Amino acid sequence: MVDQLKLTGVRAKGHHGYFDYEKQQGQDFVVDVIVDIDAIESASSDDLDKTVHYGVLAERIVHDIEHDPVDLIETLAERIAATVLSFPAAIRTNVTVHKPEAPIAVPFGDVSISIDRGRS
């Protein structure tokens, strides 16, 4: 059985982007993750160690956003997916990285990338 833990709207300032000014000035990034877990064991034991601690996960996502600038949001999404899958209870994840302040010359609401990754 697969259950889902969802953590949405994790926001932090990062210095990712293709252009030099993006790396210098930084901008907000917003991350949503869906984590596939088997919640039966954690629910029946009421044991935090048997699930994904979403508070710790949020802090690690913020760290991923704030450190080691990259050019592409695809690369940032891969980094965050690896962070999610570092939790033993995580089976699979869907990561969406939003870049609401992307350098686009026309009015827009959001730009994002979503990736699905699982354990190999």
Q: Among 6, 23, 50, 99, which one carries the catalytic annotation? A: 99
Helix and strand tally (H, E) in the chain?
4, 4
**Spatial separation of the C-alpha atoms in residues 40 and 114, rounded to whole Å:** 27
Please say if 99 is a catalytic residue: yes
Q: Using CA atoms, how far apart are residues 118 and 37, in angstroms rounded to an integer?
A: 11
Identify the H or E element spanning 118. strand 112-118
Question: Which residues are part of the catalytic machinery?
Answer: 99
